[in-house]
Copies of this chain bind each other. A is one copy, B any other.
Amino acid sequence: MALDRLKQAAAHVTGQSEPPHPFDPLTGTEIEQAVAIVRKEHSGLFFNAVTLWEPRKAEMMAWIQDPKHTPRPHRVADCVCIGRGSKVYDGIVDLTEGKIVNWELTEGVQPLITMEDLNLVEDTVRKDPKVIEQCVISGIPAEDMHKVYCDPWTIGFDERFGSGVRLQQALMYYRPHVDDSQYSYPLDFCPIFNADTQEIIHIDIPPVRRSVNQAPPNNYHAAAIEAEGGFRTDLKPINITQPEGVSFTMDGRTISWQKWKLHIGFNYREGAVLSNITFDDKGNERPTFWRLSLAEMVVPYGNPEHPHQRKHAFDLGEYGGGYMTNSLSLGCDCKGAIHYLDADFVNRAGQAQTIKNAICIHEEDAGILFKHTDFRDDSCTVTRARKLVISHIFTAANYEYCVYWFFHQDGTIQLEIKLTGILNTYAMNPGEDLHGWGTEVYPGVNAHNHQHLFCLRVDPNIDGPDNTVFQVDAARGSGEVGSAENKYGNAFYAKKTRFETPEQAQSDYNGATSRTWEMCNENKLNPYSHKPVSYKLVSREIPELLPKEGGLVWKRAGFARYAVHVTKYDDSQIHPAGRHVPQTSGEPSQGIPAWIAENPTANIANTDVVLWHTFGITHFPSPEDFPVMPAEPMTLLLRPRNFFTRNPCLDVPPSYCSVPSGVKQGSTLVDKISQLAFGGTQEKKGSCCQ
């Protein structure tokens, strides 16, 4: 009865007969309905964000348990609007009820910069007389201002201008030709743009001036490569086909594949959001993670000379991983049989916009899943692995971030991020001493040292929400060499530290002890090992935050001070550096440090917790990273430990299986179409697959 009313309401909202899944992103229709509801009461606003206000966890868990007898969570929009005078409004709009349920003017904050915001800046700087004057000083004729470009960045935080006015900094470049890579022609001054008045309010000019680079263009587009001798011709095609289609099914945005089941969401901040991830263990659908997402990142640059300290973009919190997402395309970004999901966002004017093919879903062969040969008789079982890939790619001005979520048949979830795109560059004079803060990657081009630090938000649901996080270190046994207990000195074990408060759970990485973190359900022991069922975070690329304690980045990017933080679950705690990140001073630090400060000794043992993991790389540029960077991968794993009673993928059909008694069993997945590289049949005789 109530459900029917809601269904009708939903149908009215979405134009679909079935209501969207409560985790589904807002549809274009829902976005525009939210805008209409806001406009009824508030006028003269620009829309910064209209996104799904996710159902509260308790409500949603109840509904998932028993959808038939539980009220369906309402469709609710989380809105951020900007009015004249850099006024920011945060609103919550209940679409099911068709009304605003919360609306407030939020003082002293700046919401993220949208692509539309960015595009306004370039036009302004080209027309600004003071900018033109600086271009002329740099050696660019005033009539060539159409050859001047800028990458608008949030200003980060500049104490001279504070947080009250919405600002951007314009990193300046020049292009001799419209198709030339501007990153070979950085300019040395930096205009500050007021997004409210749309004017340049200041220009930072360095004491030592550097003229525009005189080096020839350094391009990678096809015409340039052709001019240099053309593309290599010795690469033969590799075709990947799935003649019988894919092995996954989609029910709306819920995917089922090889015992895995999860919902694939998407929002303007985090990009892909994976929810209610379960694994079918012999017919029992076991929860593993309630929600996984890349929640924040920061890219601090290492040059202390003013104003480079402002270069420390929070690409998710200040621009939005969703907003910057590429439209993917068959063959270019993915191979095989692909399923795409689009992404709908609001624009500044309040209309819904779609990014086609924002998320790519496909399968890949993953080599050997397991193999063993008995040396006595060569009886052998070998089984090939498959993985599911859920990916999206976003462009943050110069850089590209390729985000791949892999689901493996053995119960492992893997996150891989590939960095590509172009180095952020700065001008330098011939022979200038770079003091070790950067590298001359091309004559006249200084690429500064930087870090890419990502914050992964892990909301574990290991056989239920009440979980405990343990730090696990490989440790030597007690007893010196020669002692009765450890005569030969070979004793070692897994030393486990139970995290009981957020304060205590602030932990660094330790490579020497192969430190990992286990998310356990202490209420459920593995029947064989008698250890709590768990998933282990295995992550090895965890540099320290290099900006110093008390410094600007340290204050603003509190989440990056430790490799791992653990907090008690709170519906409102999604963004590790805060809800509105641009122009935050870091005094006090927003997000994780603030949440922990509220109650540093709260209990986080055997309760609903969230693990925040910061990882990434430190990048000292070199010429081979330029003019475009070969993709650099980094990865981490979430692995089941004591979660299953045995290898959960033994029932994957083997490529080959023989047993000592001589019976050859199963040869089901043999790749009959594999060929020898150079003909010849004799070798093939050796094959077990014939």
Contacts and interface: CB of A to CB of B under 8 A. Distances in A.
Nearest to A309: B488
Interface stretch (A70-78, A267-275, A644-652): A644-652
Given A304-B485, A481-B548, A488-B551, A370 B629 contact: yes
Nearest to A544: B512
A250 interface: yes
Given A646-B626, A647-B624, A232 B652 contact: yes
A476 interface: yes
Interface in A511-536: 511-514, 526, 528-531
Interface stretch (A34-42, A133-141, A672-680): A672-680
A308 B231 CA distance: 59
A657 to B, nearest CB: 5
A222 B489 contact: no
A449 B490 CA distance: 10
Interface string A556-569: 00000000000000
A190 to B, nearest CB: 15
Contact of A335 (B422, B648, B671): B671
Given A239-B241, A481-B548, A686-B356, A337 B223 contact: no
Contact of A370 (B221, B380, B420): B420
B244 A236 contact: yes
A30 B630 CA distance: 44
Given A221-B657, A618-B474, A651-B230, A330 B689 contact: yes
A245 B677 contact: yes
Nearest to A515: B511
Contacts of A487: 304, 306, 309
Nearest to A396: B375
Contacts of A553: 488-490
Contacts of A332: 382, 384, 655-656, 670, 687-689
20 contacts: A221-B665, A222-B654, A222-B665, A232-B652, A234-B247, A238-B241, A330-B675, A331-B669, A331-B672, A335-B674, A336-B674, A337-B677, A357-B687, A368-B631, A372-B420, A410-B624, A442-B646, A488-B551, A489-B548, A624-B644
Q: Ordered nearest first, which 8 A-B pairs have the shortest CB separation?
A: A489-B551, A511-B511, A222-B665, A331-B671, A489-B548, A410-B630, A309-B488, A356-B686
